[in-house]
Amino acid sequence: MRADMAAARRLLPRWAGSLRPASSAAAAAYPKRVKVVEVGPRDGLQNEKNVVPTAVKINLINLLSETGLQVIEATSFVSPKWVPQMADHTEVMQGIRKVPGISYPVLTPNLKGFQAAVAAGAKEVSIFGAASELFTRKNINCSIEESLERFQEVMAAARTANIPVRGYVSCVLGCPYEGKISAAKVAEVSKKMYSMGCYEISLGDTIGVGTAGSMRDMLSAVMQEVPVGALAVHCHDTYGQALANILVALQMGVSVVDASVAGLGGCPYAQGASGNVATEDLVYMLNGLGIHTGVDLQKLMDTGTFICSALNRRTSSKVSQASCRL
């Protein structure tokens, strides 16, 4: 596989210079550092049509571990009845190389999943809430309040085991069932999850309908309840708005951004449309802003090439598409 990768290596054009962090003279309004949370192996692969063999998943995560990324969401301890793509969660967790200094959070929807995750070696977990009642009902057949009560068990167990918990809030800028979502609702759910003990709240524009305007309004409301240092944005690029939305979030002080290598993971609500923002495109933008991420863009692109070839699909990263042809 390495030889293939080397042969298909996308040479960076003369932009190598601009791909390293430029001077930060223009970056006075932006954070100096941004933590990139790589969700490709979980959120990405979970939403891809093709199911990926365990060995490929492990290799993907190992390659990502060499790019400088500090957080790589590895898998999901959800029942394989619901998410068959993540059925091999135990094997993946046990099979990956755990590089010191890198965190490998996993999704745990309930106590059973949490216990299985810890048994498999997980040291960080994530729980998923939503800012939409209808979305919660359709997805996990209960109300938002009920879902948070279920998570209390996970929080208690995590606290005892000293395991940090990241909280996700879905549909923060719109819901496929309810339509518009009020910023106040997002703030309310975020506050609840934060006070339950989540160290970080990742605000997800699940269907990518948000814009710079709605992002600003939503963050203004949430920042009144949760410190900005505990906030992350998880933008989908379904309407091409992701990087602009992320830019606004950065301008407001958010310094944690989720992304998916090669933009893996389509949108389950708009067939054929794109989903996650591509990590390559995000890092390209952050580099251009002089913001430090610690990520090696070339290695990231190579990893994207690997997984796209394994999935037999084209990359959704524009940086990758452009660089390979010049």
Which residues does the annotation mark as catalytic?
267
CB 15 within 8 A of CB 239: no
Residue number with CB closer to other proteins (102 or 233):
233
Q: Which amino acid is at 173?
A: L
Q: 167-193 in b/e burial notation, b at 16+ Cβ within 10 A?
A: bbbbbbbbbbebeebebebbbbbbebb
Q: Which of 96, 186, 243, 257 binds other proteins (CB under 8 A)?
A: 243
Query: Does the protein bind other proteins through residue 49 (CB under 8 A)?
Result: no
According to the binding rule CB under 8 A, does residue 1 interact with other proteins?
no
Least Å from the CB of residue 263 to other proteins: 9
The answer to whether 27 and 289 are in contact (CB under 8 A) is: yes
Quick one: which of 326, 250, 246 has its CA closest to 279?
246
Q: Which of 63, 285, 308, 311 binds other proteins (CB under 8 A)?
A: 285
User: Given the complex with other proteins, which of 107 and 300 has the nearer CB atom?
Assistant: 107
Does 247 sit near other proteins (CB under 8 A)? yes
Q: Would you mind telling me the total number of residues written for the chain in this entry?
A: 326
Footprint of other proteins on 194-213 (CB under 8 A) = 208-213
Three-point CA angle 117, 97, 76, nearest 5°: 30
Instruction: Tell me how far apart the alpha carbons of residues 316 and 314 are, in angstroms, rounded to a whole number.
Output: 6
The rounded distance, in Å, linking the Cα atoms of 214 and 4 is: 43
Only one of the segments 89-97, 189-197, 244-252, 298-306 lies at the binding site for other proteins (rule: CB under 8 A); that segment is 244-252
SS3 (DSSP) at 221: helix
Choose one: 51-59, 184-192, 227-235, 265-273; the region binding other proteins (CB under 8 A).
Answer: 265-273
Contact set for other proteins, span 111-130 (CB under 8 A): 128
| Residues 136/265/199/89 CA torsion (nearest 10 deg) | 90
The residue (of 2 and 9) whose beta carbon lies closer to other proteins is 9
Question: What are the CA-CA distances from residue 170 to residues 4, 133, 205 (Å)?
Answer: 38, 11, 7
102 vs 215, beta carbon nearer other proteins? 215
Q: How far is the CB of 126 from other proteins (least distance, A)?
A: 10
Query: 10 Å Cβ neighbour count for 75?
Result: 30
Contacts of 274 (CB under 8 A, 6+ apart): 208, 236, 237, 238, 263, 266, 267, 316
Exactly one of 174, 204, 265, 304 binds other proteins (CB under 8 A); which one? Answer: 174
Q: Which is nearer to other proteins, 18 or 182 (CB)?
A: 18
Q: How far is the CB of 245 from other proteins (least distance, A)?
A: 9
Residues 211-240, one symbol each (x = binds other proteins by CB under 8 A, - = not), give: xxxx-xx-------------------xxxx
Main-chain phi, psi angles of 135, to 5 degrees: -60, -45
CB of 34 to other proteins, least distance (A): 13
Residues near other proteins (CB under 8 A) are 14-15, 17-18, 22, 25-27, 46, 76, 78, 82-83, 107, 109, 128, 138-140, 174, 176-177, 179, 208-214, 216-217, 237-241, 243-244, 246-248, 267-274, 278, 281, 284-285, 287-290, 317-319, 321-323, 325-326
